[in-house]
Amino acid sequence: MYTLLDGLRVVEASSFVACPTAGLYLAQMGAEVIRVDQIGGGPDFRRWPQAENGDSFYWEGLNKGKLSVALDLSSGEGRELLAEIAAAPGEKAGVFLTNFPVGGFLSWERLSARREDLILTRIMGRADGSPALDYTVASALGIPFITGPESLGDEPVNAVLPAWDLLTGAYAAFATMAALHHRSETGEGQEIRIPLADVGIATIANLGQLAETLHGGDRKRYGNDVFGAFGRDFKTRDGERIMLMAITPRQWRGLVAVLGIADEVARIEEERGTSFARDESERFVHRDALYPLVERAVAARESGELGAALDSEGCCWGPYQRMEQAVRDPALVTGNPLFSAITHPSGAHYAAPGAMATLPSQARVPVRPARRLGSDTEKVLTEIVGLGAGQFGALMDKGIVGVPKP
């Protein structure tokens, strides 16, 4: 956690990946983020992967450093309390993240009537209000039909990483900060709607893939080959698999030198009338000749020795690791100041990441774990909403508010 957003209060009522990711990023930059859930947990509270006791590693990972409030959101009183928290006064308050529907008790019309300078960032499935999740967005974009080896034919391949959720969450955090800047300049609040499907289609358009399709048809499947450049997986003599890339001229020259294939490469260039050093796309066009050459050279080397040689020449490469290896990798986790080993609400003790940005002017502080569901209900309702002890007790008796069981 850093202190860039100290004093900013953000209220989040959400579930799944995109919206909680936006809240997480703001919390890691120093904002006080208050997550409001249904008593007993929302639809993502027990989502896999789970700890042995059934608690969700997923939930506690996405909610690190946030305060937790539990309300009965099926009741009018619970909904009223959420609206009061979201629109509470304060110069650095009045910022609300949600993926609740456009209409209903969290509509812009209702919330802005409480606070006209409210910033409401709403993550949606589609712009028309219909539902969509990461996998249904991906399936409509065509990406599953260009993922995987050519031998799959017309079989789609779903990605494991929820890319559109993560991009949407990051974009929502950015858009929220843009709206905050606008409010500081003009005093105006506003609702921002960010449809997951629009993030998906806009992203592939920004990458030139829609234009590519319009002017040449769908891209083929290329397996692990990097489209338009030199890049693929290769296996070393000791059976390790590495990813080799050569995008820049320097990277290409270094790779050729390390593998000792300069003469063979020169012969291919002469035969085919091209230069691989000048144009990265030519390395892709002529990969039928280059890949077997590199494959043989890599297969003749031990992984440790080859890795050191590639590093010495500034080459771009990386080992293939399973997650059980990555979690013990000093460069990635165990020796990385990004991570802190902490005890989580599940009771499990493991390393968790803080903010992904590095701020040389600020020292990192240990990562704050997620709170137990409802841990901050009383604090938020008394300090922000202004309820007295008797009022809070009455709400407890009626089952409108929730706190952790002892």
Q: Which residues are known to be catalytic?
A: 165
Question: How many Å apart are CA 170 and CA 166, to the nearest integer?
Answer: 6
Smallest Cα–Cα separation from 56: which of 64, 96, 165?
64
Cβ atoms of 229 and 282 closer than 8 Å: no
Question: How many Å apart are CA 100 and CA 4, to the nearest integer?
Answer: 28
Question: How many Å apart are CA 18 and CA 199, to the nearest integer?
Answer: 11
H helices of 187-242, where? Answer: 196-206, 209-216
Smallest Cα–Cα separation from 175: which of 198, 197, 191?
191
Cβ atoms of 404 and 39 closer than 8 Å: no
Cβ atoms within 10 Å of 117's Cβ, excluding its own: 14
Structure tokens at 317: 């490469």
Question: How many Å apart are CA 217 and CA 211, to the nearest integer?
Answer: 9
Question: How many Å apart are CA 207 and CA 310, to the nearest integer?
Answer: 29
Residue-by-residue DSSP string for 257-274: HHHT-HHHHHHHHHHHT-
Burial letters for 270-293: b for 16+ Cβ neighbours within 10 Å, e otherwise?
Answer: eeeebebbeebebbbebbeebbeb
3-state secondary structure of 1: coil
What is the DSSP pairing of strand 230-235 with strand 241-246? antiparallel
The residue count for the chain: 406
